[in-house]
Structure formats: structure tokens, C-alpha cells
Amino acid sequence: MEPNMSNCRSSYEYGHSISWFEDIAENAGKVQTETLRRILELNSGVEYLKKWLGEVNIQEMDATALESLYTSLVPLASHADLEPYIKRIADGDTAPLLTQEAITLLSLSSGTTEGRQKFVPFTKHSARTTLQIFSLAAAYRSRFYPIRQGGRILELIYSSKQFKTKGGITVGTATTHYYASEEFKIKQEKTKCFTCSPQEVISSGDYKQSTYCHLLLGLFFSDEVEFITSTFAYSIVQAFTAFEDLWKEICIDIKEGTLSSRITLPKMREAVMDIITTPNPSLASRIEERCKELEGVDWHGLVPKLWPNAKYVYSIMTGSMQPYLKKLRHYALGLPLVSADYGSTESWIGVNVDPSLPPEDVTFTVVPTFSYFEFIPLYRQNQDCSSVSDDFLEDEPVPLSKVKLGQEYEIVLTTFTGLYRYRLGDVVEVSGFHKGTPKLNFICRRKLILTVNIDKNTEKDLQKVVERGSQLLSKTGAELVDFTSHAEVANQPGHYIIYWELKGEVEEGILGECCRVMDASFVDHGYVVSRRTNSIGPLELCIVQTGTFKKILDHFIGNGAALSQFKTPRCTSDQVLLRILNGCIIKRFHSTAYA
């Protein structure tokens, strides 16, 4: 039985959400077998399942026996295995291919991980579980950071544009579908007194205009804001970075009760002007005074200075968002950074039941009703190598009830939305248990991102290397804004290129040393051996112009991604992105680490 997810913020509802979750966590193994039964009963007879299960009578089978039959007959699948079915849906085939429920929406992945955007089915269940995890997470946060009734939330959230396939299916990001859903409308109606921005700002489709209005309204209600949130930490950093240039204009709007001419979308203008109905010179003067102080300290402590009653900043801060923590902490000063929950375009996975932990230490407790989860045990072939690579040995998948503490796994999903034994590609470690359900520590995406020959390095390996190299910037007053990489193999020997965008000036000698330190910091055995034998050439560090990564963001937004979903690709072979990057290089350095 699922709790009432009306998102009412009463302590009763919060307590009800937690007691429901504690109960299913206690019986997670049994809940999982019943979840699989529900999925298969709902989708009994669909073309994909009939291919593997034939005419099995699911209703007459015991849940445990059904679980055993399902995992023995249905093979593990990648997106490529399901893509022909999804394409038929996109082209207008209305037969029950993956689900009995008609699929009218397809989610568009960001494309920053796999290098191309993928279609994933989105159903009412997707919106329900999103509302459910938001409510559950809020319940756990309220234990540590209770908020006032009547307070507000500064939500830096964005929809993207939707489009239709030739078969009439609506395509957009998962966040866009959720923001257009009845479930989101329920949330907004129940919590409308807590939201700074109206729907017209969220769904404008123009992230620059939306960001301006989010910030304007957030400051208009500055004393009422209880916390600040966005889907990804990147979006918060992006908004506050933009604010450094926009604050004077925003102060004029608050002072005069006007709205900047940069806001050209009629519906958004009207919705915002309905809120800012009268001039407020005293508020504008107070904000202006604080901004002048903040300018003098490089905007250190921007959040508590401008939103004095904010309790925390809340966002996804793990994985590819971790590099933005330093800048976020700069803005937040000592305000807690609370990591949001673990999910993907395909399914929500786990909730953060201990919001007091810093993002680097957060774990995610699996919610066993969201999907049926399996875990492929992974074993490193070279245990002496600290690099996380795709050089894994695999064992047979195990159910949630059989995972072991300290073991690394790849997650496999069977979802209500038509994905069956779907390999997600995420590598996680079981770091503990919450009653009967595991707590996961996200390790990395399994997909290799940097390889020239026998070298194998992932996003996490790259992040560690960049962190070590960028530590040398701390004494210069400069900071690393963003980074990506590319494995250059057009000329032999191939080599790694790391692109940095910096804020501030750095001497060339220091940048050369940054390059050397990064090259020496790759610990993958294949990379070290290849560098020593010159099978891989010296690492190249390219410094790009200010605003280069903004151009990359604009490229993805132009292709249908939403700012709420955007993640800077940490490695790219995309020729468009490489043209942007290479066209913006202002300095190059080559490593002397193995000279």
C-alpha cells in the first residue's frame, strides 16, 4: 500500500510517509517480489515479454516462483535491445509492445553520458513516483531542517520544449513531462504558498529569461525563502554566476515595480508582473547594499546574505555534480548542502534518509516499490589498481535481498514503464542497510570515457585527476569554472586533452605544472605503462575562453535538453562540441611528467 502523496506539509503527512517507508524497508525482499508481480501482471501479454515468457499464466503463479522464472527466461538488456520497440512506439504503433498502457510520452535523456540522446517511455507511474520521492525526501529533511509554515522555496527549475514524433508521441525531458503532469499541479496547488515562481516561469522554454525571473522573485520574497533548490547543483551555480551580472537590473525592477525588457515572453511577463505589483524601494536598497558588500568578497556567502532565513541548499550533488561543490560552498558559506535523491531518466532508485551528511558521504536507500531491482556483482581484475575502470569480472545478477555489504554492483531495472532487466550502467557500492533495504554509494558510470589503447579511465578517475591538478590554483586566486576531456587518436601516439575554463589570471608556469600533475595522477595501470613506453603521448591541457562552457550549454539546450537536466559532458568525441572547444583555445600546455 502506498501513502497518500498529496504533498501536504503537515507533520502528520511527513510522519505517515516515513512510517510507510520504514515498513516496506523492513520487508524489502518480499516487497520486491510483489513489485515484480505487479509489473508483470500489468504488462502481461505485451510483445516483448511474450517473446521470452510465451503464454505463462502470471496470475496463477506464486510471486517467488514467478521471480525465479522471469530472471531465468528474460535476458539482460541494454537500451539498444529495446530501441526497436521504442522506435515503433515513436512511429505510431499502438500495439502493446512494452506496456499494456498506451505510451503517449517519451523522455529524452540528456545525451551527456552516452554521447547521444535516448528515448525512454514515460507514463503516469513515472510522475507518481517523482511526486512520491519528493514527498518522502521532504519528510526526512524535515527531521533535520524543519521549515516554517507559510515560508517559500526558491526553486530554480526549468522545462524544455516538447516536440512530436511522426507517430504523434510527445517527446521531452523527464523533468518537462513531470512539470506538465497532474502530479506536479497537485504539488503546486498544495504548496503554492511556498513557491516563488509561477508555472509560466518554469515552463517558458527560455532558460535565460526563466533564470532572471527566478532570481527576481526569489529576492522579492527573500525574507520568506526557507531553502533553495534545483535538480542539479550545476543549475544553482549557473544561476548565481548569472546573478553577479544581473543584480543591478534586478534591483531596479524591485525598486520601480517593473520588469526588465530582456523578458520578452508575454505569458511570463504577465505572470511575474501580477506578483510584483508595486514598487519596493526599501527592499531594493537593502539588496543593493548587500550586493555591493558581496562584490568586495567575490560573492562569498551570497546565499545567507541575500536569503537570511534559508536553512539549506538542496540538489543532486553526487557523480558529475561533485566538481561544482566547491563553488556552491563558496556561495553558501556555512549553510548545509543537502544532497537530493538518486534516480535516472529510467527510474527513481533511492532516497537520502540522512540529509545531515555532507554530499561526499551521502548514501541512497533503495525504495523497493519503484522498480524491480537486480544487481550484477562486479570484481576488479586488478585489485592493486585504485582506478575504477570497465575492466570488471561479472557474476550472475542477484536480487535486492541478496546484496552484500562492501560489494560493488551494476544496477539492473525492471520498471512499470516497459524496461525489462535493463542494464542501467551505474556502478554502486552497498555501504550499509536501512532495515532490509540496501544503502547505495554511487561510484561511477560504468562506461569508459577516456581510452586510447589499453588504458581505461572513467569519469571518477578524471575528476580525481582534475581535482589534484586544480589544487595548484588555490594560491593564485583563480578558480576552475568547468572542464571536459577528449581522447585524441587522429594522430599517433594518441593522447588525452583536458579543457579548462578559468576565472582569473594564472601564470603559465603554474598551468604547465597543473598539466604535469594531472598526467602523473592517472593511476590506471594501462595508462601508466602506455605513457612510459610512449604508446600514449603527453597529456595536453587547453585553456579556453571565458564563456566557452556556456556555449556548450546553449548547444544542448538548442537540441531539446532542459537546464534542469543538463550535465557537462566530462569526455566528448562530439565533433560539434570539439569545434566549440578547439575554436575557443587561448593557451596550450603539454605534460613533462614522463619526459
What total number of domains does the chain contain?
Answer: 2
Domain limit, last residue, from 301, 335, 369: 335
Q: CA–CA separation, 58 vs 50, rounded Å?
A: 11
| DSSP-assigned states of every residue in 366-384 | E-TTTSEEEEEEEEES-TT
Q: CA–CA separation, 78 vs 85, rounded Å?
A: 12
Residue 188 has pLDDT above 90, yes or no: no
Residue 431 has pLDDT above 90, yes or no: yes
Residue 1 has pLDDT above 60, yes or no: no
Does the residue 472 lie in any domain? yes
Q: What is the mean pLDDT of residues 455-478?
A: 86
- The set of cell numbers assigned to 221 is 520574497
How far CA 133 is from CA of 318, 460, 517, in Å, comes to 17, 27, 42
* Structural domain span for residue 315: 149-158+193-335
| Phi, psi (rounded to 5 degrees) for 180 | -95, 0
Residue 257 has pLDDT above 60, yes or no: yes
Bridge partners for 434 per DSSP: 437
Tell me if 139 sits within 8 A of 15, measured CB to CB: yes
Name which of 413, 412, 410 is nearest 443 in CA terms. Answer: 410
Range of weakest confidence among 100-104, 259-263, 497-501, 516-520: 100-104
The DSSP bridge pattern shows strands 152-155 and 163-164 to be unpaired
Does the residue 41 lie in any domain? no
What per-residue string of b and e applies to 11-30 under the rule 16 or more CB within 10 Å gives b? eebbebbbebbeebbeebbe
Name which of 123, 201, 223, 191 is nearest 157 in CA terms. Answer: 201
Q: What is the mean pLDDT of residues 436-453?
A: 81
Does the residue 383 lie in any domain? no
Tell me if 153 sits within 8 A of 225, measured CB to CB: yes
* 28 SS3 class: helix
Q: What's the pTM?
A: 0.80
What pLDDT does 146 receive? 87
Q: What is the mean pLDDT of residues 430-434?
A: 93
In 220-296, the DSSP E strands lie at: 225-232
Q: CA–CA separation, 216 vs 250, rounded Å?
A: 6
**Which residues have a Cβ under 8 Å from the Cβ of 579 and sit 6 or more positions away?**
none
Residue 269 has pLDDT above 90, yes or no: yes
What pLDDT does 246 receive? 94
Packed helices 575-583 and 548-558: angle between N→C axes, nearest 10 degrees: 150
Rank 120-129, 452-461, 526-535, 585-594 by mean pLDDT and report only the highest: 585-594
Residue 112 has pLDDT above 60, yes or no: no
* 338 SS3 class: strand
pLDDT band at 564 (very low <50, low <70, confident <90, very high): low
What pLDDT does 5 receive? 33
Q: What is the mean pLDDT of residues 85-112?
A: 83
- The DSSP element (H or E) to which 309 belongs, if any, is none
- The DSSP element (H or E) to which 121 belongs, if any, is strand 119-122
Domain limit, last residue, from 313, 335, 357: 335
Residue 385 has pLDDT above 60, yes or no: no
Q: CA–CA separation, 564 vs 174, rounded Å?
A: 10
What pLDDT does 218 receive? 94
- The set of cell numbers assigned to 45 is 501479454
What pLDDT does 560 receive? 67
* Predicted confidence (pLDDT) per residue in 140-159, tens digit: 998 899 888 778 889 998 88
Q: CA–CA separation, 268 vs 272, rounded Å?
A: 6
Residue 79 has pLDDT above 50, yes or no: yes
Kindly report the CA angle at 299 between 213 and 263, in degrees rounded to 5?
15
Does the residue 570 lie in any domain? yes
Domain limit, last residue, from 300, 335, 370: 335
For 439, how many CA atoms within 13 A lie in the half-sphere containing its CB?
A: 11
DSSP H helices, 408-507, are 459-470
Residue linked to cell 572547444: 581
| DSSP-assigned states of every residue in 70-113 | HHHHSPPB-HHHHHHHHHHHHTT--S-SS-SS---EEEE--STT
What pLDDT does 67 receive? 86
* Predicted confidence (pLDDT) per residue in 512-521, tens digit: 999 999 999 9
Does the residue 450 lie in any domain? no
**Which residues have a Cβ under 8 Å from the Cβ of 128 and sit 6 or more positions away?**
5, 183
- The set of cell numbers assigned to 205 is 522554454
Q: CA–CA separation, 568 vs 167, rounded Å?
A: 31
Instruction: Judge if 154 and 303 occupy the same domain.
Output: yes
- The set of cell numbers assigned to 554 is 546553449
334, exposed or middle or buried, with CB in 10 Å at 0-12, 13-18, 19+? exposed
What pLDDT does 7 receive? 35
| DSSP-assigned states of every residue in 153-184 | EEE-------EE-TTS-EEE-HHHHHHTSHHH
In 391-539, the DSSP E strands lie at: 392-394, 398-399, 408-414, 422-434, 437-445, 479-488, 495-503
| DSSP-assigned states of every residue in 204-233 | SS-HHHHHHHHHHHHHHTGGGEEEEEEEEH
Q: For the chain, first and last CA: distance in Å?
A: 65
Does the residue 395 lie in any domain? no
* Predicted confidence (pLDDT) per residue in 214-226, tens digit: 999 999 999 999 9
Range of weakest confidence among 87-96, 556-565, 568-577, 584-593: 556-565
What pLDDT does 382 receive? 53
What per-residue string of b and e applies to 503-533 under the rule 16 or more CB within 10 Å gives b? eeebeeeebbbbbbbbbbbbebbbbbebbee
What pLDDT does 15 receive? 67
The DSSP bridge pattern shows strands 495-503 and 540-544 to be parallel
What pLDDT does 4 receive? 35
Packed helices 233-256 and 281-295: angle between N→C axes, nearest 10 degrees: 130
Does the residue 396 lie in any domain? no
pLDDT band at 463 (very low <50, low <70, confident <90, very high): confident
Q: What is the mean pLDDT of residues 526-546?
A: 86
* Predicted confidence (pLDDT) per residue in 291-312, tens digit: 999 998 889 999 999 999 999 9
What pLDDT does 384 receive? 39
- The set of cell numbers assigned to 443 is 561510484
Does the residue 266 lie in any domain? yes
Residue 392 has pLDDT above 60, yes or no: yes
Q: What is the mean pLDDT of residues 327-351?
A: 91
Packed helices 28-42 and 11-26: angle between N→C axes, nearest 10 degrees: 90
Q: Which residue did the predictor score with more confidence, 330 or 453? A: 330
Over the chain, what is the mean pLDDT?
Answer: 85
What pLDDT does 387 receive? 41
pLDDT band at 386 (very low <50, low <70, confident <90, very high): very low
